[in-house]
Structure 1
Amino acid sequence: MIHHVALACPRGSEETSRAFYVGLLGLVEKAKPPALAARGGCWFTGYDAELHLGVEDEFQPARKAHPALLRPDLDALAARLAAAGHPVVWGDDEIPGMRRFHTHDPHGNRLEFLAPAA
């Protein structure tokens, strides 16, 4: 089982990150330990895993590597993301038994969301 996945974000992007990961994706922000809080970034939890965003001064978004999160509300999530202006690119059936799409967070990091096919 995975405890967390870490992605990078630009310095000063915490509010934008919160709006996306909490506001759109429905994750819950988790307080960072005091020793790590001064570094910036945000931690989120949901769906039995954590997603940590860490500040990188020379930030480059993850365009190929990505977390893949199981979501029971795949169609509703895709609609929310599209309505908010985030690209939703549905995958073909390369993963048997799964429906999936990719999008990007506000920083350009690639994200994948999956659900079992009906």
Structure 2
Amino acid sequence: MRTTGKLDYLELPASNGTIDAVKVFYAGAFAWTFTDYGPSYSAFSEGLDGGFDGNPDQAEPKPLPVIYSEDLEATLAEVESAGGTIVRPIFVFPGGRRFHFTDPAGNELAVWSER
């Protein structure tokens, strides 16, 4: 149910022809599925709905989306196997552990776990 003031959608950049690469990456690393809306937009619905915007005129803002994992080491291996680049190895932070990676479009994301 949608509620006023709650985060409802997350849109990440996938410009310069990377939209197909990010779809392959997220399908391989996290088993995400996509719905295409034209040649430069592909939506996902994986917990928090969101999508990748392939608009070449897009600015360069860099949000940090964070994905949850029950097994951080296994997820790190899946991210690397799918072609992600680890930019911050697993580290402890208040509340758990996490790592950061970049996807084929250069977006930086984090994966965290309580353990």
Q: What TM-score results when the alignment is normalised by the length of structure 2? A: 0.76
Q: 1:80 aligns with which of 78, 81, 106?
A: 78
Which structure 1 residue ranges, 4+ long, deviate > 6 Å from structure 2? none
Give the gaps of 5 or more residues in structure 2: 1-5
Partner of 1:28: 33
Work out the CA distance in 2 between the residues paired with 1:40 and 1:87.
24
Q: What TM-score results when the alignment is normalised by the length of structure 1? A: 0.74
Q: Give the superposition deviation at 1:91.
A: 4.7
Q: Give the superposition deviation at 1:99.
A: 0.9
Could you say what secondary structure the match of 2:27 adopts?
A: helix
Residue identity opposite 1:40 in structure 2:
S
Give the gaps of 5 or more residues in structure 1: none
With over 3 angstroms needed to count, the CA separation of the structure-2 counterparts of 1:83 and 1:40, relative to structure 1, is closer
Q: Is the 8 A contact 1:9 1:59 kept in 2?
A: no
Percent identity between the aligned chains?
23
Work out the CA distance in 2 between the residues paired with 1:61 and 1:41.
17
Q: Give the superposition deviation at 1:59.
A: 5.2
